[in-house]
């Protein structure tokens, strides 16, 4: 039971952190932020690998491999596409920096 409580504690604290870290964000960055958060939940890949790695029947292995593919697409694609979006912001940001000099 103590383990359940520990997990519950982590859950509640993480929820507060999640709200806190993005509480101030301009609408300009809503799209990249959504996309970046989207990439982070691709970490379900870890779960897919664990479950597939313990699987015994062929059917479960096949389903597991499907989950691995889907999760990888989510994770890798998510980070790459977010980077592509943010690359577009690089120009203006760099220009701003020069102005400040």
Partner 1 sequence: MIPTWAQIGYLIAAVCFIVALKALSSPKSARTGNLLGAAGAVLAVIITFVAYKPDHLAPILIALAIGTVGGVVGSRRVQMTQMPQLVALFNGVGGGAAALVALMELGELSTDAVVPAIASAFTILVGAISFSGSIVTFAKLQELMTTRPVTFPGLPVLFVASMLGGLVLAGFLVNEPRVWVGVLLCLVGLAVGVMLVLPVGGADVPIVISLLNAFTGLTVAAGGYVLNNTLLLVAGTLVGAAGTLLTKMMADAMGRSVFNILFGAVKGGSTLGGGTASDRPVISGGAEDVAILLGYANKVIIVPGYGLAVAQAQHTLRDLVEELQSRGVKVDYAIHPVAGRMPGHMNVLLAEAQVPYDQLREMDEINGDFKTTDVVLVVGANDVVNPAARNTPSAPIYGMPILNADEAQRVIFLKRSMRPGFAGIENELLYDPRTTLLFGDARDSLTKLLGALKTL
- Interaction with partner 1 in 21-50: which residues (CB under 8 A)? 21-50
Neighbours of 39 (CB within 10 A): 19
Give the nearest distance from C-beta 66 to partner 1 in angstroms: 6
Give the nearest distance from C-beta 67 to partner 1 in angstroms: 4
- Cβ closest to partner 1, residue 24 vs residue 101: 24
Token couple for 51: 């479950």
Matching residue, tokens 């292995």: 61
Q: What is the DSSP string of 35-94?
A: HHHHHHGGGHHHHHHHHHHH--SHHHHHHHHHHHHHHHIIIIIHHHHHHHHHHHHHHHHH
Q: How far apart are CA 64 and CA 55, in angstroms?
A: 8
Q: Is 19 in the site for partner 1 (CB under 8 A)?
A: yes
Residues 39-98 that bind partner 1 (CB under 8 A): 39-55, 60-61, 63-93, 95-96
Give the nearest distance from C-beta 36 to partner 1 in angstroms: 5
Of these, 2, 18, 98, 101, which contacts partner 1 (CB under 8 A)? 18
Give the nearest distance from C-beta 84 to partner 1 in angstroms: 6
């Amino acid at each position: 039971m103590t383990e359940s409580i520990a997990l519950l504690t982590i859950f509640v604290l993480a929820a507060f952190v999640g709200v806190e870290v993005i509480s101030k964000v301009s609408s300009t960055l809503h799209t990249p932020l959504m996309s970046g958060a989207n990439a982070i939940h691709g970490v379900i890949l870890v779960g897919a690998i664990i479950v597939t790695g313990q699987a015994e029947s062929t059917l479960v292995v096949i389903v597991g491999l499907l989950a691995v593919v889907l999760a990888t697409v989510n994770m890798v694609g998510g980070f790459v596409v977010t980077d592509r979006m943010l690359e577009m912001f690089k120009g203006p940001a760099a220009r701003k920096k020069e102005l400040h000099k």
